[in-house]
């Protein structure tokens, strides 16, 4: 599972909303944690309405204080300030994650305007998900305002029949087992109106054939879901399953919100050199419409 967690911080309270998740997972998974601050060239005086950290020594003290106040004594927490000013903070974080630190999980806050939200929704997710193989846990500020609250009791684990996404399922099972969390398996069968891309074009010219194929997929979904339920049982994880029709991203976000689940786990395609993740993927749409924590598991669709 995740043995090294990287948490980039910009000095704002909003970015610090990633810390409870890091502390919780580090405790459950026996992981070490690295807190990272990158000095930005020509940095704005404020970020999220707060003074921006631009002095390396002050930033180092800031990270040390957070390490002492948010993590239990038994958790190994390291701090690092990238003192050389950089123009692109996102690229610097990616560079650190690929070489110097080699984490297997990056946790980011996504709330607010500017700062880490812009980094995640723009460069860093694309670079990490397309250039690397590092899962990202995206944390939004909870609706109840409890910044120190993070606990995994129930995980939403969407499955779609695509063998390439089984890595996300396996990661979800491992995480649920480590945290003693329950799992809800969700399988969404699209409707004609919710199809995208080539499938949508096909449905226009061959609506009868596509409709029949979708009905057949719904009939076959039962055995597919049952197979995965058996895997949960073998792993000692309590689970329930749901099969619905509709737009996958909308159904995933609605299920997470309605059941007040603690985490959504999604597989994301690694298509180097393209913006496929952001263009029309289920994962990117869920990230836009849901405030629940989302764990993105990169899936390499190309053979090695």
The pLDDT, as a whole number, for residue 88 is 67
First to last CA, the chain: 22
For residue 101, the model assigns a pLDDT of 83
Q: How far apart are CA 116 and CA 85, in angstroms?
A: 17
By CB atoms closer than 10 A (0-12, 13-18, 19+), residue 88 is: middle
Q: Say if residues 2 and 105 touch (Cβ distance below 8 Å).
A: yes
Q: What per-residue confidence (pLDDT) applies to 284?
A: 78
pLDDT (tens digit per residue) in 166-196: 889 999 999 999 999 999 999 888 765 554 5
Strand 32-40 versus strand 77-86 pairing type: parallel
Asked if 103 contacts 133 with a C-beta cutoff of 8 angstroms, the reply is: no
Write the DSSP symbol of residue 273: T
CB atoms within 10 A of CB 138: 26
Spell out, as residue ranges, where the chain has pLDDT lower than 70.
Answer: 43-51, 87-88, 90, 111-132, 141-148, 191-219, 270-280, 300-304
Q: How far is CA 257 from CA 13, 21, 245, 253, 262, in A?
A: 24, 19, 17, 6, 9
CA-CA distances (angstroms) from residue 235 to 178, 255, 297? 11, 24, 20
| Full set of structural domains in the chain with CATH | 4-139 (3.40.50.620), 154-300 (3.40.50.620)
Q: How does pLDDT run across 213-243, given as a tens digit for each residue?
A: 556 666 677 888 899 999 999 999 999 999 8
Q: Using CA atoms, how far apart are residues 133 and 96, in angstroms rounded to an integer?
A: 14
What are the phi and psi torsion angles at 17 (to 5°)?
A: -65, -10
The H or E element that residue 244 is part of is strand 239-245
């Amino acid at each position: 599972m995740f043995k090294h967690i990287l948490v980039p911080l910009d000095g704002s309270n909003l970015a610090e909303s990633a810390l409870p998740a890091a502390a919780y997972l580090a405790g459950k998974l026996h992981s070490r944690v690295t807190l990272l601050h990158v000095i930005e060239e020509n940095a704005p005086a404020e970020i999220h309405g707060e003074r921006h950290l631009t002095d390396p020594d002050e930033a180092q003290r800031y990270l040390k204080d957070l390490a002492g106040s948010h993590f239990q004594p038994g958790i190994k927490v390291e701090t690092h300030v990238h003192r050389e000013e950089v123009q692109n903070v996102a690229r610097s974080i990616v560079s650190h994650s690929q070489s110097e630190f080699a984490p297997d999980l990056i946790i980011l806050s996504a709330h607010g305007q500017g700062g880490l939200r812009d980094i995640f929704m723009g460069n860093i997710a694309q670079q990490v998900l397309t250039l690397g193989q590092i899962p990202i846990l995206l944390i939004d500020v909870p609706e109840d305002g409890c910044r120190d609250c993070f606990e995994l009791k129930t995980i939403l684990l969407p499955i779609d029949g695509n063998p390439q996404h089984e890595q996300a399922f396996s990661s979800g099972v491992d995480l649920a087992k480590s945290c003693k969390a329950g799992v809800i398996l969700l399988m969404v069968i699209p409707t004609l109106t919710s199809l995208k891309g080539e499938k949508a074009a096909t449905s226009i010219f061959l609506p009868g054939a596509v409709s029949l194929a979708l009905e057949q997929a719904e009939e076959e979904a039962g055995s597919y879901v049952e197979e995965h339920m058996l895997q949960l049982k073998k792993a000692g994880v309590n689970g329930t399953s749901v099969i619905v029709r509709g737009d996958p991203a909308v159904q995933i976000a609605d299920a997470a919100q309605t059941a007040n689940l603690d985490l959504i786990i999604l597989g994301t395609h690694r298509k180097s050199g393209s913006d496929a993740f952001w263009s029309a993927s289920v994962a990117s749409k869920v990230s836009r419409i849901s405030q629940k924590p989302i764990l993105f598991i990169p899936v390499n669709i190309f053979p090695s």
